[in-house]
Structure 1
Amino acid sequence: MALVGANVGVAKVLAGSLPIAMIVGLRCLLAVLVLWPLARAMEGRVQVDGRCLRNLFLQAAFGTALYNAGLLAGLRLTTALEAGLVLATLPAVVAIGSALWLREVLPPRQWAAVALAAFGMGALTLARAGGEAHGSLLGNLLVFGGVCGEAIYILLAKRIAGRVPLVTASLWMQAFSMLLMLPFCLPVLGSAAALADPEVAGLLVFHSLTASVICLLLWYAGLRRAPAGIAGVFTAFLPATAALVAVVFLGEAFSAVHAAGFVLLTGSMLLATWPGRRRNG
């Protein structure tokens, strides 16, 4: 979760140096090159049926293409600090999607998490109307569009949970994402010259390998040793690390409004992911 948060700042720097399609396309290409041998070594040859492939294609379209396009486009307009706070609404958006689409009955705590997330987003919007924030409403909305894409990805993943091994599923999603981005990469192919800058190239490699490979492996390796509910609590590190990187490394200002938004949105994440009490018997 700390690496996911740090990648918000990294993505903002990359968005200022490369076209969005090029960043996403190259990220997926690098991920495929790493995940291919990893999937074979860890899970062997896996036959994936047509229904699962269609589901993985949709997951790629929403969870990789739409999420990254929304995040990177938004980061061109808003600050990494505010983008990190908007990303903290993800558990609340997933909860709403679960209720509306999957017809799951949500406990009061989940609805409280949704309310806190709404108040947090409202605080950022009102602060901007009063001239107290440095981000962009349109930028934050684009990032939130990416959050909705990621939420759809999570809900789609529930439909085939356990049917495709983790690394193999990730490989297919990255491959599908690469194909989806290819038509958008070809017109801006000349922009790859920016990769001659070692800093840009290094950040792209870091962004690709951490976001698409290392974070995935760390998260699921942790889940083997800790209950999912306890692991969910650590999602609070996402906005915290994003804020730290934005302030310390990018020099962004942290205002009282950001502090209020951080408290509300982090509280929403904790409410949505905190482990519930187990019933006796």
Structure 2
Amino acid sequence: MRLAYLQLALSMALVGANVAVAKVLADVLPIAMIAFLRCVLAMAVLWPLARWLDGPVRVPSAVLRNLALQAVFGTAIYNAGLLAGLRLTTALEGGLVLASLPAAVAIGGAVFLRERLPPRQWAAVALAAFGMAAITLARTAGGAGGSPLGNLLVFGGVLGEASYVLLARRIAGRVPVITASLWMQAFSALVLAPFALPDIGAVTVLAAPSIAALLVFHSLTASVLCLLLWYAGLKRVPAGMAGIFTAFLPGTAALVAVTGLGEAFTITHAAGFLLMMGSVAVATWPRRTGAP
């Protein structure tokens, strides 16, 4: 289980660390184009890996439908909801809504997958949510008021990402990890193509070696390594507990912003990270024999 915990934590930490890279790419490429090219590059790597390590695999139609839904919820709805919402609401309120992701995953696992969540896991969810709220408060300054519609759109994105986590758990182990990741990227590319291809002329900026290198790094980490780690971890960890590790996504993003972008590190940041790590400790601490 410790290896599975590490795989889930590293997956979400890498996604969070890629936020800074994505911000640089977003200055020169449309958001949909970045995501589309990321999927295409990931497929170029995953295809030979799947043929080499997994061999010919017949993917059941039910699993294909599940992977297609993951692409819709985890790629399209999450990104559309988050980006559209943040155009209307403040970063403070949007970040507080985003902090509800671990709770959304835990509750979804209990309701839809009928996973039993012990009281300490509910406590871990609460710690994670409060930790992310503290980090968000520390990263933002006071400003204009938020927007209820914007907050609702961000929460729609949260529900999309939570649905992705739950769907991934539903098929974990039924298809080899690399093959599942390949199909996920293929479906994501199909979902993104109508939004990305109208801006195809923007790819000329990739003539700059630095931009091309950033895109390759972003693709191989966010769309290959992160997916492989996440699928591998989900083989052993229930969706409710896996949701706790999504706290590493905004947590690592905040850390990169502080260390890489020069934002001030405050005592509120420290409190947020302590709460986040406390959440993981509570969720993963070995239970005594006979304990509930």
Shorter-normalised TM range: 0.7 to 0.9
- Asked whether the 8 Å contact 1:15–1:72 carries over to 2, the reply is no
2:103 maps to 92
- 1:105 is paired with a residue whose SS is coil
- In 1, Cα distance between the equivalents of 2:233 and 2:63? 25
Task: Tell me the CA shift for residue 160 of structure 1.
Answer: 2.1
1:161 maps to 172
1:16 and 2:32 matched: no
- Asked whether the 8 Å contact 2:38–2:219 carries over to 1, the reply is yes
RMSD between aligned alpha carbons? 3.8
- Asked whether the 8 Å contact 1:92–1:113 carries over to 2, the reply is no
- 2:185 is paired with a residue whose SS is helix
- Are residues 205 and 183 of structure 1, via their aligned partners in 2, closer, same or farther at CA, if it must alter by over 3 Å? same
1:271 maps to 282
Which of the residues 221, 227, 234 maps onto 1:210?
221
- Are residues 145 and 18 of structure 1, via their aligned partners in 2, closer, same or farther at CA, if it must alter by over 3 Å? farther
- Asked whether the 8 Å contact 1:120–1:262 carries over to 2, the reply is yes
Task: Tell me the CA shift for residue 56 of structure 1.
Answer: 0.8
Task: Tell me the CA shift for residue 203 of structure 1.
Answer: 1.3
Structure 2 matches for 1:179-190, cutoff 5 A? 179-190=190-201
Equivalenced residue count is 272
- In 2, Cα distance between the equivalents of 1:241 and 1:218? 16
Q: Which amino acid aligns with 1:168?
A: T
- In 2, Cα distance between the equivalents of 1:78 and 1:9? 19
- Asked whether the 8 Å contact 2:42–2:223 carries over to 1, the reply is yes
Task: Tell me the CA shift for residue 73 of structure 1.
Answer: 6.1
- Are residues 49 and 235 of structure 1, via their aligned partners in 2, closer, same or farther at CA, if it must alter by over 3 Å? closer
1:151 and 2:178 matched: no
Which of the residues 242, 247, 250 maps onto 2:253?
242
2:77 maps to 66
- Are residues 20 and 70 of structure 1, via their aligned partners in 2, closer, same or farther at CA, if it must alter by over 3 Å? farther
1:3 maps to 14
- Asked whether the 8 Å contact 2:172–2:231 carries over to 1, the reply is no
In the alignment, structure 2 segments of 5+ residues that lack a partner are: 1-9
Task: Tell me the CA shift for residue 241 of structure 1.
Answer: 3.7
- In 2, Cα distance between the equivalents of 1:53 and 1:7? 28
- 1:244 is paired with a residue whose SS is helix
1:200 and 2:211 matched: yes
2:184 maps to 173
- Asked whether the 8 Å contact 1:11–1:72 carries over to 2, the reply is no
- In 2, Cα distance between the equivalents of 1:235 and 1:52? 24
Task: Tell me the CA shift for residue 204 of structure 1.
Answer: 1.2
Which of the residues 34, 43, 46 maps onto 1:35?
46
- Are residues 258 and 137 of structure 1, via their aligned partners in 2, closer, same or farther at CA, if it must alter by over 3 Å? farther
1:75-114: CA deviations, max 9, x gaps? 88987xx96x976654332111112322333111122123
1:102 maps to 113
- 2:168 is paired with a residue whose SS is helix
2:263 maps to 252
In the alignment, structure 1 segments of 5+ residues that lack a partner are: none
Structure 2 matches for 1:215-234, cutoff 5 A? 215-217=226-228
- Asked whether the 8 Å contact 1:12–1:72 carries over to 2, the reply is no
- Are residues 217 and 59 of structure 1, via their aligned partners in 2, closer, same or farther at CA, if it must alter by over 3 Å? closer
Task: Tell me the CA shift for residue 154 of structure 1.
Answer: 1.7
